[in-house]
């Protein structure tokens, strides 16, 4: 009795990888709904779905009408890369123009149609896929370099390596098809096609895993920002101030200045906390706009803020503080319907070594602030 032969159906294999990709895409989509919404995560969820559907269309070429699988797969793959690009650019504060994404996707779709109509043989299909992957690689390489920091370092590196391996694999496949002059399966049958599907499927799933890692990295970044930044004004809170000062160059002197808004309690009592919040946000924005580059701005609590700047000014009331005081009446009058909250008090102190002297310098600056304030007006 002859032994039963084991055969692999490439289409079923491709369908399995496609379903696995859809599962990962669903996880990414669900992750984008957890906690505070992010502008980038929805882009990445849509990118994962688009790349997965493109992958599945490519795997189902044999059961779809001739050329239709490729006609769907290539534009979806490029669209997925564009959506990923949009997510990264949005996250780093440099959103991509919608017209650019539409142009790239349109060119990809037109190119795929031309390949299917003009060069429908397997050689044309493979070269079309390679052209599509070239665009994807070009887009990804540029944006992933912008993520090579903090929580994003490992997933960005992982995606770059995966993209490089996938690109090299499709180049080898394309060269093989061109040399053979016929379907790659003609030299090895369904088994060869199954191997191609396994390799490409694993690489695409690895790419989707990289997107999932980036989603987790952004969630970590968002949670870290919530822990280290003041939710109202966007500047550092006390924890963020402590973390930021751990990056201070050892042995470099600096100056810490503490600010307090005059009569702020009367603003809250007379006009409500919503007006008080507007005053706080306006003052924090004025601090960030006027303080020297590289300074650390933090809200210590209530209406008290501090700025830590590098170096020791010739006078503790630096030029930027005088500019701030000149601007504040206009800024705060627009924020509050009373002239009471149009001035701030401040006190400064310097330190030579931040690890040993910052705490005492902050205390001295706070005492100088209240000495200055009590000399000019009664305390709130």
Domain of 80, CATH number, reads 1.20.1070
d(C-alpha 220, C-alpha 66), whole Å: 45
Number of domains in the chain: 2
In total, the chain counts a number of residues equal to 380
To 10 degrees, what angle do helices 122-144 and 68-91 make?
A: 0
Whether residue 258 sits in one domain with residue 221: no
Instruction: Return the pLDDT at 299.
Output: 94
d(C-alpha 187, C-alpha 246), whole Å: 62
Instruction: Return the pLDDT at 363.
Output: 92
d(C-alpha 143, C-alpha 132), whole Å: 17
Whether residue 22 sits in one domain with residue 131: yes
Question: Domain ends where: 228, 249, 271?
Answer: 228
Mean pLDDT of 104-117: 70
Mean pLDDT of 134-146: 76
Mean pLDDT of 14-21: 78
Instruction: Return the pLDDT at 37.
Output: 53
For the segment 202-243, what is each residue's pLDDT rounded down to a tens digit? 888 888 888 888 878 877 887 888 889 998 998 999 999 998
For the segment 293-336, what is each residue's pLDDT rounded down to a tens digit? 889 999 998 889 999 998 776 655 578 888 888 777 777 766 66
Instruction: Return the pLDDT at 186.
Output: 44
Q: What is the mean pLDDT of the chain?
A: 77
- Would you say residue 4 lies in a domain? no
Q: Which residue has the tokens 């020791």?
A: 312
How far from chain centre, in Å, is Cα 117? 39
- Would you say residue 1 lies in a domain? no
Q: By residue range, what is the domain housing residue 346? A: 238-376
Instruction: Identify the band that residue 3 occupies on the pLDDT scale cut at 50, 70 and 90.
Output: very low
- Would you say residue 233 lies in a domain? no
Question: Domain ends where: 228, 254, 285?
Answer: 228
What predicted TM-score, i.e. pTM, was given to this entire model?
0.65
């Amino acid at each position: 009795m002859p032994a039963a032969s084991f055969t692999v159906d490439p289409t079923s294999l491709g369908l399995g990888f496609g379903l696995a990709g859809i599962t990962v895409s669903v996880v990414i989509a669900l992750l984008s709904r957890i906690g505070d919404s992010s502008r980038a995560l929805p882009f990445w969820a849509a990118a994962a779905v688009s790349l997965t559907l493109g992958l599945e269309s490519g795997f189902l070429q044999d059961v779809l009408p001739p050329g239709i699988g490729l006609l769907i797969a290539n534009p979806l793959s490029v669209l997925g890369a564009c959506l990923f690009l949009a997510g990264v650019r949005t996250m780093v504060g440099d959103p991509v123009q919608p017209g650019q994404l539409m142009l790239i996707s349109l060119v990809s779709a037109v190119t795929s149609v031309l390949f299917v109509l003009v060069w429908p043989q397997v050689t044309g299909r493979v070269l079309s896929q390679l052209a599509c992957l070239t665009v994807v690689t070009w887009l990804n390489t540029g944006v992933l370099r912008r993520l090579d920091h903090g929580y994003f370092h490992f997933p960005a590196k992982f995606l770059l390596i995966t993209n490089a391996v996938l690109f090299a694999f499709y180049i080898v496949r394309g060269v093989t098809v061109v040399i053979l002059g016929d379907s790659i399966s003609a030299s090895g049958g369904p088994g060869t096609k199954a191997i191609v599907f396994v390799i490409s499927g694993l690489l695409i799933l690895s790419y989707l895993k990289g997107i999932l890692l980036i989603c987790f990295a952004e969630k970590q970044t968002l949670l870290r920002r919530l822990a280290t930044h003041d939710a109202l004004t966007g500047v550092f809170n006390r924890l963020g101030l402590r973390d930021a000062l751990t990056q201070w160059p050892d042995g470099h002197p600096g100056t810490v200045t503490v600010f307090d808004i005059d009569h702020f309690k009367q603003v809250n009592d007379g006009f409500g906390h919503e007006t008080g919040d507007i005053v706080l946000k306006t003052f924090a924005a004025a601090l960030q706009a006027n303080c020297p580059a590289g300074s650390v701005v933090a809200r210590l609590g209530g209406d008290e803020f501090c700025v830590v700047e590098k170096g020791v000014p010739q006078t503790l009331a630096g030029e930027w503080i005088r500019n701030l005081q000149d601007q504040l009446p206009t800024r705060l009058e627009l924020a509050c319907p009373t002239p009471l909250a149009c001035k701030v008090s401040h006190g400064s102190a310097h330190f030579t070594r931040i690890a040993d002297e910052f705490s005492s310098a902050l205390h001295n600056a706070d005492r100088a602030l209240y000495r200055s304030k009590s000399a000019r007006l009664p305390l709130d």
